Structure 1
Amino acid sequence: MTFTPKPFQAPAPRIEQADVPLATLQQQVAAIVTGQRNAQLLTEAANRTASPSDRLAYQLDAWLVRHPKAPLAQIADYPVWAAEMTARENANREARNARKETL
């Protein structure tokens, strides 16, 4: 048995009946194409690098370009993070200075 597609029941709607103005559609398509090109460039860069950390960074950037509306963490999401990092940096600095004094 072979499949035979049926012809459309109604003629295609006129382009003027699109949901958005043509200029808006053109902008949206241009943004999609630009995002795809950027993601491809980042993916190629990830494949060429020998650095594992750079590879991860490029792959994450490519993912973010492909998903521009993905939720991102903000500093406000972690209110005590800055204070904790400052305390760690100060403790490390003090430990390095104490080590220098003993040498």
Structure 2
Amino acid sequence: MPLEQLEAVLRESRARHAVAGDWDEDEFVANGEALQLVTHPDAPVATDADYGDTWTAWLDARIELNKRQGGVS
């Protein structure tokens, strides 16, 4: 997912939860840290290339499992 798209998803999630008032402290902190990582130009953000085929295979398997369990991809 492009960083710009990830940033938009994180900001939308933060806004939605803020309106609903259903944040717990851990979610709020995690969301803030994720936003800092994707918006900071020097943040140490890993890519698929950093993990090689193992990461891609693991991620593909998790997506398939989620689909079989009725989740979204």
Q: TM class, shorter-chain normalised?
A: 0.3 to 0.5
Structure having the larger proportion of residues in helix: 2
- Work out which structure has the larger RCO, using CA pairs closer than 8 Å and 6 or more positions apart in sequence: 2
TM-score (norm 2): 0.38
